[in-house]
A and B are shown apart, each in its own frame.
Chain A
Amino acid sequence: MPYTRSPVARYLPLFVAALTMLGGSVAAQADATLDKIQQRHRVVVGVLLSGGPFGSIDPMTQKPKGLNVDLAEDVARQLGAEVELVPVLPANRVQFLQQGKVDLLIANMEWTVERGEQLGFVPTPFYRVGGTAAVLKDSAITRWEDLKDQPVCTSQGSSYIKPLTGFGADIKAFKSSSESLLALRGNNCVAAVHDATLINPLVAEGPEWQNYRAISPELNPAPSVIWTRPGETDTQARLDSIVKGWHRTGWLIDAEKRHHISPPSPALVELHDKFQAAGA
């Protein structure tokens, strides 16, 4: 029997062509990144997988997991695209974004004035986080001022370097937080300063961390935002509505619980109330 194409198959190329043109005409109105995402149906997100509830590698499946990963996947879902995760480090994440290796950064990178001038960002934050220091339980350090002239471990590119220098601390910055924390345990510094969301769960439940405690109050609490290349206002606007949606529906609060991030962030409740009131 000779092969005959069904009507659908016959018109399929035409159909695809029409769709592509339609897609092209819609995308042409957006900025370069949103354009690219909509054309390729793929969004490349740089995520920080330095361990802890925000991002780590699952030892069983070798797959990335954590809040950063969930956020990236939901952004992709809402944009109708597939997500491609690229692990980044604090020391190279800005370059990855600038060079177009990633479209977005969901990498525990807090907003600061300098960074805001250098890159673009989604105005609504998805979290708020400050720094804390892990110190030995019997250490004499209880306040940030006590770190003056003391060796302090942190990671290269951390936003806490500036305030710590202000306290007169002797900064030892490592490639990532894992090396910094190992250096703390090797007694190369008296404290390791990182996001409270990384330190708090460690000292609360990590069996190797029972001799350590965290100090308060949080250093420089700052909003965690999604970063884009500068000037990409369409991408930012599109993502902003997604982030607002996360707050309004309480999805972020659920995600925080799901990843056992403790203590729960008061900022999330604040933002949830704010956008629910605005959206209703």
Chain B
Amino acid sequence: MTHLLELLVQTAARFGLNYGFLLDAYQRASLVNGALTSIALCAVTIVGSLAAGLLLASMLTSGRVWIARPARVFIEVTRNTPTLVQLYCAFLVLNMLLTQAIGTANPLTPFAWVVIVISLHKGAFHAEALRAGIEAVPAVTLEAASSLAFNSRQLLWNVQLPLALRFALPSLINNLIDLVKMTAVASAIAVGDITYASIMIWTQSDNVLELMILLLAFFGLLSFIVNCAGRALEARLRMPGYGH
């Protein structure tokens, strides 16, 4: 393993790139740790954002104004403000107020705040994608289902959502790829993701270019995996007669 790494560093050095920091056990450990944190962050926020999106979409399409209106307001506010500002607002303001109110027992870590903020932010986008899917379900299909005595919840879960998901999937995957890249904002509030680990290394030594290449490759790979998973899911859920 170390031998392979040395070979890699030497090869890179031939192109004028100094990846010597990979041989330093401490810096390598902090990078690997950062990469794992980034992956964990992505995994948790993907689940969180989909749950938030599903909830918001079902509120939007509930047909009851007093449920749909708050969801609409939330989506507009969340969609129309920058993620970084929301994160600062949540972590530096809300978190401080929370700590002042309940003291040091505040259970919300910086990691938790990033998960909450990104999940809700991306959830708003998912909700719109899902709403497009739900509204694309043909009225005749719904009529046929209600003639089989489905109530409104059964209608949503058993008829509308399975079809809506198929319509919305490309859009959802698009959102998820954006979510993967968005996790880099975690570095702003000192969550030790890979961006943070890189910043910590390059502010102490001169290897911005090398770390940037590494960062881009890492996020590129992660997005590509999400993309592939999405494509596979699309192929698996393919249904004749619905756009294919």
Using a CB–CB cutoff of 8 Å, the interface residues on chain A facing chain B are: 90-91, 94-95, 114, 118, 153, 156-157, 161-162, 171-175, 179, 182-183, 185-188
Contact = CB atoms under 8 A, between A and B. Distances in A.
Contacts of B190: 153, 172-174, 183
Contact of B204 (A114, A153, A175): A114
A118 B99 contact: no
Contact of A179 (B189, B206, B208): B189
B203 A156 contact: yes
Main secondary structure of the interface of B (DSSP, over half): helix
B205 interface: yes
Contact of B205 (A114, A172, A173, A186): A114
Contact of A161 (B188, B200, B208): B200
A153 B205 CA distance: 20
30 contacts: A94-B203, A94-B206, A95-B208, A114-B204, A114-B205, A153-B190, A156-B200, A156-B203, A157-B203, A157-B204, A161-B200, A161-B203, A162-B204, A172-B190, A173-B190, A173-B200, A174-B188, A174-B189, A179-B92, A179-B189, A183-B92, A183-B189, A183-B190, A185-B96, A186-B91, A186-B92, A186-B95, A186-B99, A187-B104, A188-B95
Main secondary structure of the interface of A (DSSP, over half): mixed
B170 interface: no
A167 B50 CA distance: 42
B97 to A, nearest CB: 9
Given A185-B96, A186-B95, A175 B200 contact: no
A183 to B, nearest CB: 7
Interface of B: 88, 91-92, 95-96, 99, 104, 106, 110, 188-190, 196, 199-200, 203-206, 208
B92 A187 contact: no
Given A175-B188, A187-B106, A182 B203 contact: no
A185 B99 CA distance: 9
Nearest to B99: A187
Nearest to A186: B96
Nearest to A189: B190
A21 B96 CA distance: 61
Contacts of A186: 91-92, 95-96, 99
**Which 3 pairs between the two chains have the least Cβ-Cβ distance?**
A157-B203, A186-B96, A172-B190
Contacts of A118: 205-206
Given A179-B88, A179-B188, A183-B190, 15 more contacts: A90-B203, A91-B203, A114-B205, A118-B205, A153-B190, A157-B204, A161-B200, A171-B200, A172-B190, A173-B196, A174-B189, A182-B96, A186-B91, A186-B96, A188-B95
A186 B88 CA distance: 12
Contacts of B208: 95
A91 B199 CA distance: 8
B28 to A, nearest CB: 15
Contacts of B203: 90-91, 94, 156-157, 161
Nearest to A95: B208
Contacts of A156: 199-200, 203
A168 B96 CA distance: 26
A157 B104 CA distance: 28
A171 B190 CA distance: 9
Contacts of B99: 186-187
Select the residue from B110, B203, B208 with max chain A CB neighbours within 10 A: B203
Given A174-B190, A187-B106, A182 B92 contact: yes
B39 to A, nearest CB: 21
A103 to B, nearest CB: 19
Nearest to A153: B190
A145 B51 CA distance: 45
A90 B203 CA distance: 8
B41 to A, nearest CB: 16
B128 to A, nearest CB: 31
Contacts of A187: 96, 99, 104, 106
